[in-house]
Amino acid sequence: MSNKTIIIAEDDESIRLVTSRYLQDLGYEVTLASNLKELWKLIESNKGDVLITDVMLPDGELFDILPQMDAVSLHCPKNEETTNMFSENEFKIMKESAFLINCARGGIVNEVALLDALKSNKIRAAGLDVYDDEPSTSSNPLFSLDNILLSPHIAGVTQEATIRMSKQAVQNVLDVFDDKVDPEVIINKNVL
C-alpha cells in the first residue's frame, strides 16, 4: 500500500487521531473525516486510495460505497440487520483486488458466498476470526483455500482488551448493587 492516501472516517476523535498518527508514522498520507458528510465529500473527490471507516452508513449506502473499497473490516454486533450483511450481491460488486476481514461474529459474512467469491476470484482474499459454527472444524471448505487467513476467534484477546473487559465486568456488578443497571448490557431483560 505504499504511496496510498488513506481516508479515516471514525466517530471517536481519539481513535481517529491515534490511527492517523500510526499510519502517518508508517509513511502514509492520511485524510480525516469526522462525519458521513465529510466522508462522502472525500470519496466523491477521489481524495483517498484506501478508506477506513467506522461511521455508521444509512441503509443502502454500504452498497453504494462497496465498489470503491480496497478492504472491508467488520467489527459490528450480529443482529437482524447485520446477519448475512456480506453475501453474493456484495461480493459481486466488490473490487477483485479487495480484502474482507471479519472479526465481528459468524453469520455476518455468508460463508457459502465467501467461499464462492474466493474460489472465483471475485475478491482477492479474506481474513476470518469468527465462523458460522464455532469451534469450526477442518471440514470447513474455507480452510482449504490459499487466499484466506484464519484465526480461532482470538483477535480480540489482547492484554488491553482483557483489562478493559475485566474493568467493565466489575463496573457492571457495582452498577447492579447501586441500582444503576444499563439495560443495554442485560441479555435476559425479562428478569429485571
Q: Catalytic residue at 153?
A: yes
The answer to whether residues 125 and 33 belong to one domain is yes
Asked if pLDDT for residue 134 goes beyond 60, the answer is yes
Nearest residue to 125 via CA among 109, 140, 145: 145
Q: Catalytic residue at 164?
A: no
The answer to whether residues 190 and 112 belong to one domain is no
The answer to whether residues 151 and 83 belong to one domain is yes
pLDDT at 10: 52
Q: What is the pLDDT of residues 143-169, one digit of tens each?
A: 999 999 888 877 666 777 778 888 888
The answer to whether residues 122 and 71 belong to one domain is yes
Beta strands, E only, the chain: 5-9, 29-33, 50-53, 71-74, 99-102, 125-128, 148-150
The answer to whether residues 168 and 83 belong to one domain is no
**DSSP code, position 27:** T
Q: What is the pLDDT of residues 42-95, one digit of tens each?
A: 656 665 555 555 545 555 666 777 887 777 777 777 888 789 989 999 999 998
Burial class (CB in 10 A: 0-12, 13-18, 19+), 33: buried
The answer to whether residues 148 and 164 belong to one domain is no
Q: What is the pLDDT of residues 167-182, one digit of tens each?
A: 888 888 898 889 898 8
The answer to whether residues 110 and 168 belong to one domain is no
Q: Buried (b) or exposed (e) across 120-130, using 16+ Cβ within 10 A?
A: eebbbbbbbbb
Asked if pLDDT for residue 7 goes beyond 60, the answer is no
Q: Look up the domain containing 140 and give its range.
A: 5-155
The answer to whether residues 122 and 168 belong to one domain is no
pLDDT at 188: 79
Q: Pick the catalytic residue: 75, 96, 134, 164?
A: 134
The answer to whether residues 173 and 120 belong to one domain is no
The answer to whether residues 68 and 34 belong to one domain is yes
β-pair type (125-128, 29-33): unpaired
Q: Pick the catalytic residue: 105, 111, 164, 184?
A: 105
Q: Pick the catalytic residue: 153, 160, 164, 184?
A: 153
Looking at residue 107, which CATH number applies to its domain?
3.40.50.720
Whether the model clears a pTM of 0.75, i.e. scores above it, the answer is no
The answer to whether residues 11 and 87 belong to one domain is yes
Q: How many domains does the chain have?
A: 2
Distance CA 64, CA 84 (A): 17
